[in-house]
Every structure is written in structure tokens, then in C-alpha cells.
Amino acid sequence: MDSFNKTNLQNIKEIFEEKAGVSLRSKHRRHSFIMTIAVVAVMVCCLTMTAFAISLFSSLEGDDLVISATYEGNGIVLVQIENRSDKNLSFQQELKLMLWSTSEEIVPVSNNIVFSGNEVDAHAKGIITIDISKAYDIAMLEQPLVDDYYYFILTNNNFAFGQDWMCPVDFAEAIMTPREDPTPITPMEADSALIAKIMEELKPYFESYTTNRTEGRELSAQYLSLCQQLLDQIDGKIVPSVSPMELTIIDDNTDVVFDPSVPSDMQLQLTGLHRRTTDGYDKIIGASEGESALVLSAYLPQRKGDIDGGVDVPLLYVFIYERNAIQSLQDYVFIRGQLMTFEQMEQYKIYEDGKYICYDASGLFYSDLRRYVESMVSQRSDVYFDEEVWERVQNIYNYYKENLGTLLGYRDVSRSDISVKEDQGNSYEEMPTTSRNPEEFQTEMCLDNPNNPVAEQNYSVGEPNWND
């Protein structure tokens, strides 16, 4: 206690008197011992409450909690919970109901939400019954949604800190718009039955998954060998994709905001650009090892509140072809086990000039962005993913999906400076074609600062704001 001066002790004494309603003032010095004991008690109490709060509200890892919901009708929802963590879980008896497509909260008509049970012990399963019949317009909720769904956000501390949990809930069967997957168009001289046979024989490669590098290389070698055998039987011409080093994505938009919790001058550093021969699942994207795509990725943090360039999720796959290599719209491209003609690829075209034609073929890699990103995240144990991170990914995807064609431009590969295209018809002719080692451009620098690469950054940007 000698380390406390009189001012410290007086302040603590006044706090205790205010909280406890007990006066410690005395004219007799013999009471100083009692005052000292009281001060110690206050300090112990504060430390105990702090430890209790940390224990109660500390976050769970994303895979420590499995949560799902079943709608029973009449506003009654059963929430099934599997708590795989070492912590007892206690939900607060309040929730938010959100609409997926807009991330907006459904405004309740009252706060009369009734919980039956809200605690689940460590390593245990439990069911929480939630009655929202008097809090929401149930008739409206039970109307089928089109390509959309609702979800709850459950909390353990008024959505302030701790951890919130998402739980999808279907009040009616959603109306899902059938996705029209592109069907390969077969040239007149080609055997359509053979095309279908080739695609069917290659399908198992994309349905297999291994974490063993040696086994993965063997599978890829077998796949490439099978590709060669099967494609040799095709009567039409197959045009390979190319990776011209002078054609890249050039973006210096300082106004774009992908994540409002990240400083404005670091927004473009949340993205990455690579030339890749494999997709996000490490599957070969072409018919040979030499074929690659220009891939725009979103970087995901490794911890809550961090910007971490160590985990990238490929979002957009741009395939580039030399114009003079295409003799007919019935010539083929081969992308991720699928044969398509240039006639069909027309729907994916985002840019062309006198030398190259570019296609955004992302739709051939996945059909649902959310499921695809979650699948990518599930392969990694070092990724933090929540609704704020998902919103960042959506913003990056939407921005580049809309603007990618106008951002493609030429650079002088013999120098470090970049020249944006002005005339799509002949700008490439003004650029030197000095060759460089392709490995030097394995990672593009046009969305990055070469003096401060994303992969070496780890910035704290604060806690996500769930109330926005």
C-alpha cells in the first residue's frame, strides 16, 4: 500500500463511499486500518468483476458453435445449438431479424419477444424456443421470398461487445430463380456425344479434394494427361488462354470504399491481382499447365479487426485470348473442364482491342458468391470471417464486376510505369513488347504498393460496428 499516495487513497475512498453508501470519515486515527481494509476490498471486487466480464463475453471461434433454426409456425422458432467450446454460452433474451439481400433489420412492431431457455453448457447441445408472434408481422414474414432469406442475429451483450451469431430462418419456402448455366454450343462438325462424354469424364477431378501436396500433383498430372487424350478427339480448334504481361488491371480510385472500418488510403490494399494457373481449390483451370487467368482477389483478415494480406480469396477470373488465334466463333475454349465456343463466350466478354479479347468467366467457377466464399474460408483455419468481412468481399466483388472492363489497360513491361489505355483499338501498338521473366509478374503490383506489400501488413483497424 506504500505505493499509493494520499491522493490515490482519497479518490478510491470517495468511490467506495459513493458506491457502498457507507461513510469512512472519522476523527479517530484508529479507524485508518478499517479504511485500508475497505480499499483493498474495493480493488479485489473490481478485479473480480473484470475477470468475470472477460470470461462471460470472450469470443468463441467460428467453428465452435453450430446453430440452425426451424420454424414451427405461428411465430414459434426452434433454434438448435451445438456448443463445441469449453465455455458455457448464455444468449441474451433479445435478437435482430435481418434480410439477407439488403443486410437491413426488419423493424419489429413491439419488443415482445419471448425466449424459452437461453443457455447451453460447454460441449453440449440445446434448443432455444423463441416466440416472435407478438413482435413481428408474421403474415408478412410467411410470404415467400424470391432469391432471398431472413436470418436472426443472437447476442450475449446487447450487440455491444462479445460475439454475435447469425442464424438463417425460413418462414416460408423461398422462390429461387433457376440459374441458367451455359450449355456448350457444339460446332456442326463436332460430335456432341463426344463433348458430353469428355466433360463427364473430367468431372471427378473437380469433385475430389486433398490436402496432400504429392497426391494433389499426381491428380493434376493425371488430369492433364486425360485432357490431352480426350481433346485430341475433338474435330474443332481449341484456343489456349494467354497471359500478356503488358495487359493488366489499372486502378487508382481513391474514393472507393470496400470496408468503412479501414482507412480510406488503404482500401485498394484489400484487393490483390495474380496470374494463376489454378482456381481457389487448386484445380487446373485450362487444358495445360501453361494456361492461366488474371485473377482479382479479396484479402481477408486473420484476426478480428486486422487487415492481413496473408489470406486471399479469388473472386473474378479473367481469361485473355489473342484475337488472331481465333479463326471462327465456333472455335473452342476449355475452362475448368468445360468446352465452350467463342459464340457462347460472347456473354462474358468485357474487353477487346486489335490484339486481345478478355472474358470474365467467373460464372463458370461458381454460381453463388456467398457459398463460394464460405467454402474458401472453410479450407483455412487462419481466417476471421463475419458479416463485416462478408460485406467487404461483396463490395469488392460488385465494384470490379461492374468496372473490370474499363480498368483493363496496358503497361510498359520494360519499365515500372503504367500507361492507361485511351483507344481500345490500337493502344497496345504504342507499348513496347520487351520480354520479362513471367515469375516477376506472378503477383501484380497495380493494386498494391511494392514498397509496402499487403502480405507483410497487419494493421489494427478497430472493432466492427454491428449497429451500422
Query: In this predicted model, what pLDDT tens digit does every residue of 209-243 receive, in sequence order?
Result: 666 777 778 877 887 787 777 777 777 788 999 98
**Residue predicted with more confidence, 252 or 362:** 362
In sequence order, the β-bridge partners of residue 449 are none
How far apart, in whole angstroms, are the C-alpha atoms of residue 341 and residue 285?
Answer: 16
Is residue 457 a contact partner of residue 303, using CB atoms and an 8 Å limit? no
How far apart, in whole angstroms, are the C-alpha atoms of residue 358 and residue 319?
Answer: 6
Mean pLDDT computed over 315-342: 90
Write out pLDDT tens, residues 258-314: 999 888 888 888 998 889 888 888 888 888 878 889 999 999 988 887 775 568 899
Residue 153: pLDDT over 50 = yes
Please tell me the predicted confidence (pLDDT) of residue 131.
94
Residue with cell 480510406: 264
Helices then strands, each counted (H, E), the chain: 8, 22
What is the residue-averaged pLDDT of the chain? 74
Q: What are phi and psi for residue 146, nearest 5 degrees?
A: -105, 115
How many other CB atoms are found less than 10 A from the CB of residue 402? 9
Give this prediction's pTM.
0.52
Stretch among 166-180, 231-245, 406-420 having the lowest mean pLDDT: 406-420
How far apart, in whole angstroms, are the C-alpha atoms of residue 11 and residue 202?
Answer: 76
How many other CB atoms are found less than 10 A from the CB of residue 178? 5
Q: What are phi and psi for residue 226, nearest 5 degrees?
A: -65, -40
